[in-house]
Homo-oligomer: A and B are copies of this chain.
């Protein structure tokens, strides 16, 4: 009787593989996405789904009907933000060589985390997300790698820097935002500037060895699990 109408999570221009949704259904869908964006931005990805349903003016069952898992909802609600993140990285690649694209990227990325705590959470762990979001993240990673290489070549990034160092900063920044958002809203700016400075200049002593990409990936996947966002598929 009740089949997964599922439907195009992406854009409405994809060919109608299933019958089109009823207009009330589509309207509710948009309301849920809007509410989810707002609440994830404000409270992070662990916000109770019932709160989202309530803000959308919709029953909890309707939310689950449209987005069977938290993953689906997060993916759909944050595509725009992740796109923004990817675009940021891409645009920093266009910077004139004189400007320090990598540093600008790091600053802005931290700022994005602040503007949207959902994105902040997303960037500090590896949720099992939509293919589309995953693509975006991977694209961003490629851009960042390029930015790193250029910055190293230009001497504005210490040679022993690795991509995992950036992840560590994003994790740290996310935590600092969670703690200080309400009462010390500028704190993250100071801390990230401090760390960015450390990225730029080769230290006096050699750094302890970096975690391998695989280690870091495993850690961030586990963080997502522990944070209750990856329970099921």
Chain A contacts to B: CB under 8 angstroms: 124-125, 164-165, 168-169, 171-176, 178-180, 182-184, 186-187, 189-191, 193-195, 197-201, 203-205, 207-212, 215-216, 218-220, 222-223, 226
Contact = CB atoms under 8 A, between A and B. Distances in A.
6 nearest interchain CB pairs?
A175-B175, A172-B172, A184-B211, A184-B215, A183-B218, A198-B198
A47 B219 CA distance: 20
Contact of A183 (B176, B178, B222): B222
Contacts of A173: 172
Complex copy number for this chain: 2
Contacts of A218: 182-184
A193 B168 CA distance: 12
B172 A223 contact: no
Contacts of A175: 124, 171-172, 174-175
Contact of A207 (B176, B194, B219, B222): B194
19 contacts: A124-B175, A168-B190, A175-B175, A178-B226, A179-B219, A179-B222, A179-B223, A180-B219, A182-B219, A183-B222, A184-B215, A184-B216, A184-B218, A184-B219, A187-B216, A189-B208, A193-B203, A193-B207, A194-B198
A96 to B, nearest CB: 19
Given A168-B187, A187-B211, 17 more contacts: A124-B175, A124-B179, A164-B184, A165-B191, A165-B194, A172-B173, A172-B175, A179-B223, A184-B215, A186-B208, A187-B210, A187-B219, A190-B208, A190-B210, A190-B211, A193-B207, A197-B204
A190 B187 CA distance: 22
A140 to B, nearest CB: 19
Given A172-B176, A197-B204, A209 B191 contact: no
Contacts of A180: 211, 215-216, 219
A54 B215 CA distance: 33
Contacts of A186: 208-209, 211
A223 B180 CA distance: 8
Contact of A208 (B193, B199, B208): B193
The residue among A125, A193, A211, A220 with the most chain B CB atoms within 10 A of its own CB is A211
